[in-house]
């Protein structure tokens, strides 16, 4: 009888074990303290390049474009037949601008195998049971095809690699050979991460709804390319065109073969700032409903490279999808969290990837959704973002006792006008100076000193009824917090002479990076949100209308997304001007603009 009991128990237990996704002994990772541990040799990790067929022939050379995926993965799981998930950073910068605070570039050995993997992802995560892929976007570094700046060629680069890892696309051992390389070592679970253009790729690929993309971490990322180059009908200065941006990062093959793509981008991006079909193709917000991946957004609220409206509209569009989301908002400009909150960032990212790529039940999705920097290095967590009690509150300007200076309140004023002249030289700093004095180049309206903290959380807009004296007019708007404060100074960090290491080293690829320190300044005025528009687009972003001097036109345009607390005792002001020389060009004939205050207002996302 005693010899039969184990047999009976085994017969009962085996079917149950078959329903378990993975036994502990079969898992290619080790947990301790709730997180994966560095148990694999980084020095012995497998390094290889696979060229993945994107399925498109954008360079029109008669062959489907193949993109280079440089891979590093732990050798031990592969030897045991175990599979690992993938962390991927898809970038155009690996042979040009480089990645990270130290502008790291890829390097290769004499056999063409990748040696240097920029950033710390490989050093830190490969020993913990992840593979890392650094993908060259189409037309860059070692990939074929064309760099079409958010177009179908570029997005297919990332999607194709996710499909290859899931067994749905072909990869090859060489850029033009016929030997296929399967991704049998991959679980098919992929997390994409990246800053700036790389982060934009995470949004674009997620918006295809591709299977297997389990999470994305867009850092300072674009959600619609129009909103990097343009704003409500006006072009940004210093950003060039999609064609000029691509030309700085194309490889020699793309420069030779992609003239037609460059011309299509040039034709599709008119300098007048109109919204064209080319821009619509590169708008990922409109396809947010397809996103299946969890999303961890990171953005600097003083990032005037990738304007904050990019994260705001992306986040809002994702709300309806129900995907798990998390957000960090810093006071920095265009800076990676590794360089402003390093330990907390690596720890959080580690748990985020463990949760969504390895299904470790660590509960990170149940923790506060938002972490917001309120003053330099002082962070506050919120259960959700935007705050649940946000209400769109309309505020109206009214004239005061000084010309061009007035009040801002919830009460709609009696009919009145205020005027300014576009002298082409206005800027946020010049407009916000001397808030109680008349300025010929702007009008300013402020609240009284607020009696209690006033929090803005979300994306606002401004409506202006403007009468130009000429046939061309550009408008700029600012929200300014007036009162003494200490804030990060641009860009918000500085490098130190020391280093810290985050992961393991091997020859040619170390895990050590310069430490940074916070830079700050004391101010009495802090610009917290900005917006710009071409008055000629008052009725349509696709078709400008001729302006008649002396005729009033109403226009509504967006302000950048913000989460900011105006402390008790401070004032909140709306400034309206013409050409903001730090952001937009002057119109052909800069006008005097008369603002009809009765039909002008600002819609603010105020936490009640």
Each residue's pLDDT tens digit, 318-348: 999 999 999 999 999 999 999 999 999 999 9
CA–CA–CA angle 387, 227, 419 (5° rounding): 85
CA–CA–CA angle 130, 131, 134 (5° rounding): 135
Token pair belonging to 390 = 């946000």
Q: What's 561-585 look like in SS3?
A: CEEEEECCCCEEEEEEECCECCCCC
Q: Is the pLDDT at 13 greater than 60, yes or no? A: no
Residue 179: Cβ within 10 Å count: 8
- DSSP letters along 28-82, please? S--EETTEE---S-STT-EEEEEEEE-S--TT-SSS--EEEEEEEE-HHHHHTT-
Residue 508: Cβ within 10 Å count: 12
pTM given for the model: 0.94
Q: What percent of the chain has pLDDT over 90?
A: 95
Token pair belonging to 53 = 């067929």
Contact yes or no for 541/233 (Cβ under 8 A) = yes
In angstroms and rounded to an integer, the radius of gyration of the C-alpha atoms of the chain is 27
The question of whether 247 is a catalytic residue gets the answer no
Q: Is the pLDDT at 244 greater than 60, yes or no? A: yes
Instruction: For the chain, list the domains and their CATH numbers.
Output: 25-382 (3.40.50.1820), 390-607 (2.60.120.260)
User: Quick one: pLDDT band at residue 26, thresholds 50, 70, 90?
Assistant: confident
Which candidate in 138, 196, 294, 441 is catalytic? 196
Alpha carbons 529 and 551: distance in angstroms, whole number: 29
**Residue 233 CA: distances (Å) to CA of 68, 229, 584:** 37, 10, 11
Token pair belonging to 282 = 């590169």
Alpha carbons 245 and 243: distance in angstroms, whole number: 5
**Residue 337 CA: distances (Å) to CA of 130, 284, 333, 347, 380:** 21, 23, 11, 12, 16
The 10 Å CB-count burial string (b at 16+, else e) for 304-318 is bebbbbbbbbbbbbb
E strand or H helix that includes residue 13 = helix 5-18
Contact yes or no for 404/418 (Cβ under 8 A) = yes
E strand or H helix that includes residue 372 = strand 370-375
Which long-range contacts does 406-412 make (Cβ < 8 Å, 24+ apart)? 406/443, 406/444, 406/445, 406/597, 407/445, 407/446, 407/447, 407/448, 408/445, 408/446, 408/447, 408/572, 408/573, 408/574, 408/602, 409/447, 412/598, 412/601
Contact yes or no for 605/392 (Cβ under 8 A) = yes
CA–CA–CA angle 488, 494, 497 (5° rounding): 150
Q: What does the pLDDT read at residue 24? A: 36
Looking at the DSSP bridge assignments, the partners of residue 475 are 533
Phi, psi of 594 (to 5 degrees): -105, 125
Contact yes or no for 518/377 (Cβ under 8 A) = yes
Residue-wise pLDDT for 524-573, tens only, equals 999 999 999 999 999 999 999 999 999 999 999 999 999 999 999 999 99
Helix axes 152-165, 197-206, angle to 10 degrees: 70
Which candidate in 249, 299, 334, 526 is catalytic? 334
* Region of residue 503 (phi > 0: left; psi between -120 and 50: alpha; otherwise: beta): left
Q: What does the pLDDT read at residue 537? A: 98
Q: How many whole angstroms from its chain centre is CA 342?
A: 18
Closest CA relative to residue 423, chosen from 432, 414, 431: 431
Residue-wise pLDDT for 481-518, tens only, equals 999 999 999 999 999 999 999 999 999 999 999 999 99
Contact yes or no for 227/530 (Cβ under 8 A) = no
Residue 152: Cβ within 10 Å count: 18
Average pLDDT, the chain: 95
Q: What is the DSSP letter of 333?
A: S
User: Quick one: pLDDT band at residue 177, thresholds 50, 70, 90?
Assistant: very high
**Residue 413 CA: distances (Å) to CA of 59, 123, 475:** 59, 61, 22
Q: What does the pLDDT read at residue 3? A: 36
Token pair belonging to 322 = 């129900």
Pairing of β 31-32 and β 114-116:
unpaired
The question of whether 294 is a catalytic residue gets the answer no
Token pair belonging to 404 = 């061009």
User: Quick one: pLDDT band at residue 21, thresholds 50, 70, 90?
Assistant: very low
Q: Is the pLDDT at 314 greater than 80, yes or no? A: yes
Alpha carbons 442 and 579: distance in angstroms, whole number: 10
Residue-wise pLDDT for 130-175, tens only, equals 999 999 999 999 999 999 999 999 999 999 999 999 999 999 999 9
Q: Is the pLDDT at 25 greater than 60, yes or no? A: no
Q: Is the pLDDT at 260 greater than 50, yes or no? A: yes
Q: Is the pLDDT at 480 greater than 90, yes or no? A: yes
Token pair belonging to 59 = 């360079």
Which candidate in 283, 303, 534, 580 is catalytic? 303
Alpha carbons 505 and 513: distance in angstroms, whole number: 12
Contact yes or no for 87/121 (Cβ under 8 A) = yes
Q: Is the pLDDT at 9 greater than 80, yes or no? A: no
Residue 330 contacts by C-beta under 8 Å, 6 or more apart in sequence? 298, 299, 300, 301, 337, 340, 341, 373, 488, 492
Alpha carbons 342 and 165: distance in angstroms, whole number: 30
Tabulate helix, strand, coil % of the chain (nearest 5): 20, 35, 40
E strand or H helix that includes residue 477 = strand 474-501
Q: What percent of the chain has pLDDT over 70?
A: 96
Looking at the DSSP bridge assignments, the partners of residue 529 are 479
The question of whether 303 is a catalytic residue gets the answer yes
């Amino acid at each position: 009888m005693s010899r039969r009991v184990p047999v009976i128990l085994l017969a009962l237990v085996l079917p149950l074990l078959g329903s378990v996704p993975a036994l502990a002994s079969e898992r290619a990772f080790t947990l301790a303290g709730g997180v994966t541990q560095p148990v694999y040799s980084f020095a012995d990790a497998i390094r290889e390049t696979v060229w993945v067929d994107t399925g498109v022939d954008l360079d029109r050379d008669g062959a489907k474009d193949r993109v280079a995926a440089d891979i590093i993965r732990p050798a031990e799981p592969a030897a045991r037949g175990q599979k690992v998930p993938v962390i991927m950073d898809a970038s155009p910068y690996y042979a040009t601008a480089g990645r990270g605070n130290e502008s790291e570039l890829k390097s290769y050995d004499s056999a063409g195998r990748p040696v240097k993997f920029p950033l710390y992802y490989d050093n830190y995560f490969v020993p913990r049971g992840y593979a890392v892929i650094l993908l060259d976007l189409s037309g860059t570094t070692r990939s074929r095809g064309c760099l079409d700046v958010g177009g179908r060629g570029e997005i297919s680069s990332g999607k194709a690699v996710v499909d290859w890892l899931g067994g749905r696309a072909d990869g090859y051992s060489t850029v033009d050979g016929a030997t296929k390389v399967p991704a049998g070592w991959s679980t098919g679970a992929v997390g994409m991460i990246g800053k700036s253009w790389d982060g934009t790729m995470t949004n674009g690929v997620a918006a295809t709804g591709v299977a297997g993309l389990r999470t994305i971490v867009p850092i300072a990322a674009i959600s619609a390319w129009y909103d990097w180059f343009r704003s409500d009908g006006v072009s940004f200065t210093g950003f060039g065109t999609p064609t000029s941006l691509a030309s700085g990062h194309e490889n020699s093959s793309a420069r030779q073969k992609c003239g037609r793509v460059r011309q299509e981008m040039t034709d599709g991006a008119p300098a007048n700032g109109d919204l064209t079909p080319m821009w619509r193709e590169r708008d990922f917000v409109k396809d947010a409903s397809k996103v299946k991946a969890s999303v961890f957004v990171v953005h600097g609220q003083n990032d005037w490279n990738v304007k904050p409206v990019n994260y705001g509209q992306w986040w809002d569009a994702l709300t309806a999808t129900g995907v798990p989301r998390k957000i960090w908002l810093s006071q920095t400009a265009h800076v990676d969290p590794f360089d402003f909150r390093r330990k907390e960032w690596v720890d959080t990212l580690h748990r985020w990837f463990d949760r969504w790529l390895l299904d470790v039940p660590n509960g990170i999705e149940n923790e506060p959704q938002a972490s917001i920097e309120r003053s330099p290095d002082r962070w506050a967590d919120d259960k959700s973002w935007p705050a649940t009690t946000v209400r769109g509150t309309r505020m109206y300007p009214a004239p005061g006792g000084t010309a061009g200076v007035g009040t801002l309140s919830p009460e709609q004023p009696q009919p009145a006008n205020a005027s300014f002249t576009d002298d082409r030289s206005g800027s946020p700093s010049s407009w916000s100076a001397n808030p109680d004095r008349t300025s010929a180049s702007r009008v300013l309206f402020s609240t009284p000193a607020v009696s209690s903290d006033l929090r803005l959380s979300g994306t606002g807009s401004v409506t202006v009824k403007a009468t130009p004296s000429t046939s061309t007019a550009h408008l700029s708007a600012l929200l300014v917090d007036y009162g003494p404060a200490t804030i990060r100074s641009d860009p918000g960090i500085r490098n130190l002479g020391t280093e810290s290491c985050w992961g393991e080293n091997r020859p040619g690829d170390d895990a050590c990076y310069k430490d940074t320190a916070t830079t700050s300044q004391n101010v009495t005025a802090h610009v917290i949100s900005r917006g710009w528009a071409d008055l000629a687009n008052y009725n349509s972003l696709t078709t400008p209308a001729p302006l008649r001097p002396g005729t009033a036109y109403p226009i509504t345009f967006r302000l950048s997304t913000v989460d900011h607390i105006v402390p008790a005792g401070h004032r909140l002001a709306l400034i309206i001007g013409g050409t903001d020389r730090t952001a937009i060009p002057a119109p052909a004939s800069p006008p005097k603009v008369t603002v009809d205050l009765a039909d002008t207002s600002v819609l603010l996302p105020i936490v009640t």
